[in-house]
Amino acid sequence: MVLQINFKSGLPVYLQIVEQVKAAAASGALQPGEALPSIRPVAEDLRVNRNTVAKAYAELESLGVIETLPGKGCFLKENHSPLKKEVRRKMLVEEIDQAIVMAHHLQVPDPEFLVMIRERLQAFGDKRKANEDRQE
């Protein structure tokens, strides 16, 4: 579980942490029930205030992605993603639209755009597989 912050991206640091934990959970890099690194080392690692990491974890808990057992630590929930299919679909559509707008601004034609997407899906699939092998 390696986190990395881009201080120049404009996205609030605590949200960058939230997004990365969600992504790690989605990609299988973080397994259900697995413990997240605790706040203090993460803060030191990222050169960030402990409050900021705490805020990210609190946000993740309120989203239902992790659960905090006081005195034990934070763990990825066994069965997260409590959102209805329609809502999830809408969230995804927004991300897709953003990529399409960028493709349009960069004048990438649709067929080439689709090829790029397949390439990236392939790359992610390989990475996920490698993670699973590592865990066995």
Partner DNA sequence: GTGGTCTAGACCACA
Partner DNA sequence: GTGGTCTAGACCACG
Provide the binding-site residues for DNA, judged by CB under 7 A. Answer: 10, 12-15, 36, 38-41, 48-52, 54-55, 57-58, 61, 68-74
Q: Is 133 one of the binding residues for a copy of itself (CB under 8 A)?
A: no
Residue 28 found at the interface with a copy of itself (CB under 8 A): yes
80-119 footprint of a copy of itself as x/- string (CB under 8 A): -x-x----xx-xxxxxxxxxxxxxxxxxx-x--xx-xxx-
Q: How many CB atoms lie within 10 A of CB 98?
A: 10
CA gap 110, 100 in Å, rounded: 9
Strand runs (DSSP E) across 42-111, as ranges?
A: 66-69, 73-76
Quick one: which of 37, 123, 45 has its CA closest to 75? Answer: 37
Give Cα 127 to chain centroid, integer Å: 15
- CA atoms of 99 and 120, how far apart (whole Å): 13
Q: Which does 2 bind (CB under 5 to 8 A by kind): DNA, a copy of itself, none?
A: a copy of itself
| Residues β-bridged to residue 75 | 35, 67
User: From the CB of 34, what's the least distance to DNA, in Å?
Assistant: 13
Which of a copy of itself, DNA, none does residue 72 bind to, with CB < 5 to 8 Å depending on kind? DNA
Binding stretches for a copy of itself (CB under 8 A): 2, 4, 6, 8-12, 15, 19-20, 22-29, 81, 83, 88-89, 91-108, 110, 113-114, 116-118, 120-121, 124-125, 128
